[in-house]
Amino acid sequence: MNLTLPRFFLREFRKRRKKTALITFALFWGTLCVLILLAFGRGMSAQSRVAFSGLGENLIMISGGQSSIVHGGLAKGRLIRVYPNDIEDLKKRIPEIAVIAPESYNGWPVSARGKELNRTVHGTTPEFAGLRTQIPQPGGRFINADDEAEGRKVAFIGWKVAADFFGGEEAVGKEIIVNRVPFTVIGVLQKKIQNSMYQGPDADQVYLPFSAFSQIDSQPYLDRIHVQPRELGLSKLVEERIRTVLGRKYRFDPADRYALGIWNTIDNAREQEKIFKRIEIFLGVIGALTLFIGAVGVTNLMYAVVRERTQEIGIKMAVGARRRTIVLQFILETLFIFAKGTFWGFITAFNIVGLVRLIPLSEEGFGIGAYLLRPVFSMDIFFIFLGIVGTLVFLAGIFPATRASRLNPIEALRYE
């Protein structure tokens, strides 16, 4: 292959680098802005999902309520409660339930090492761990079946509870006093991101086996029942079955929305999903606008620079350049400018995203930082960007060059 002409083109390109510097910079800047913007958008969206899943997915929480419809000869306004034996009934009657766990809680003084704090103390069964993402730190565990069966005096505590009593020391194996009864710590909750919570952050909670909790608590009914359906798609069905089963048992109308307090995370998930979608659409629109403005600017610059060179094209044709030589030169130059600008834009954006991700997040809950400091770099966006801007820039560079190459040499020479 004869490289004489490509070398000549390269030399000419270098000589005129200053003239095209603005275009290169515009491409660089546009690439950088769009990629950064979209990376942050993606990051926010992804972090929202992570944060939401901190509560546990596909979960139905049932608590007592008050009937609001006259039913079976009973007046409305009756208090409806859920009881420990409902767990067995629901499990038996509704095969679509995968996991079910009871929960009761009470505010009690908790003390250790002579320090006393008021904390919410929960009684629950081992199944709760999977339902509510209770992951123990290494060296510890959640309540297990034996703890429950034997009514052992053991406790699983939030990481802040552990820190409050034992500082940096290992909490597992230590004793805490709950409502004047000593319990042994068996595990500490691992830190997690959570933005959807009830009863304060998980970090501050204390969990006891349900059997042991019942011995120190006098409340006969449950505060909540947690249910996980076998599949996400069964969520609404399971919810309705629960109303039917408990309605028959406690004699309320299954259609009575107030008889039970039911929180189905699928409803939240749907809401949340809508919000994520809106955020993404919003950022997508901003990205598209930025891209559009950038592309128009670059296209314009490119067009102007090439038009300015019509006379140069005339000179070259006058001394013997062929049409395809002229067009080839502009194709290569456009390619060069495009590759250079977008390459450096990409590298810079990539590094900025990487550096931002290195900023540590504060460990307290789930602040704004978690949304802003975890941008996600996505190649698909980069390629879409390359495709759109590339096409526009090419048209802008090649169209005027092709047009100029169609002129007579003398017309091109006279071009002002």
Partner 1 sequence: MSKAETIIELRGIKKVYQMGGHALEALSGVSLEIGRGEFVSVMGPSGSGKSTLMNIIGCLDTPTSGEYYLEGKNVAGLTFDQLSSIRNQKLGFVFQNFNLLTYATAWENVEVPLLFNGKNARRRRQRITELLEAVGLLDWKEHRPSELSGGEQQRIALARALANDPPILLADEPTGNLDSKSGEDIMGLLGGLWKEGRTIVMVTHDDRIAAHSERTIRLFDGQVA
Q: Which residues contact partner 1 by CB under 8 A?
A: 2, 4-5, 8, 11-12, 15-16, 311-312, 314-325, 408-411, 413
Task: Indicate the residue among 71 and 316 with the shorter CB distance to partner 1.
Answer: 316
Task: Indicate the residue among 321 and 395 with the shorter CB distance to partner 1.
Answer: 321
Q: How far is the CB of 300 from partner 1 (least distance, A)?
A: 22
Task: Indicate the residue among 318 and 359 with the shorter CB distance to partner 1.
Answer: 318
Q: How far is the CB of 4 from partner 1 (least distance, A)?
A: 6
Range list of β-strands (E), 181-238: 181-188, 206-209, 224-229
SS3 state at 228: strand
Report the half-sphere exposure of 100 (CA within 13 A, side-chain side). Answer: 19
Task: Indicate the residue among 2 and 118 with the shorter CB distance to partner 1.
Answer: 2
Task: Indicate the residue among 145 and 315 with the shorter CB distance to partner 1.
Answer: 315
Q: How far is the CB of 48 from partner 1 (least distance, A)?
A: 54
Question: DSSP states of 347-391 as a string?
Answer: HHHHHHHHHHHHSPPPSSS--HHHHHS-----HHHHHHHHHHHHH
CB atoms within 10 A of CB 333: 23
Q: How far is the CB of 10 from partner 1 (least distance, A)?
A: 12
Which residue carries 């933005």 as its tokens?
195
Q: How far is the CB of 393 from partner 1 (least distance, A)?
A: 22
Six-digit token string for 393: 């820039």
- Terminal Cα-to-Cα distance of the chain (whole angstroms): 37
Task: Indicate the residue among 96 and 312 with the shorter CB distance to partner 1.
Answer: 312
| Calpha distance 115→106 (Å, rounded) | 19
Task: Indicate the residue among 16 and 141 with the shorter CB distance to partner 1.
Answer: 16
Distance of CA 1 to the CA centre of its chain: 52
Task: Indicate the residue among 3 and 358 with the shorter CB distance to partner 1.
Answer: 3
From residue 229, alpha-carbon distances to 131, 181, 310, 398 in Å are 10, 36, 71, 60
Six-digit token string for 337: 């400018």
Q: How far is the CB of 19 from partner 1 (least distance, A)?
A: 8
Q: How far is the CB of 403 from partner 1 (least distance, A)?
A: 14
Which residue carries 């013997």 as its tokens?
320
Do 51 and 193 form a contact (C-beta atoms < 8 A)? yes
Pairing between strand 260-264 and 97-112? Answer: unpaired
Q: How far is the CB of 13 from partner 1 (least distance, A)?
A: 11
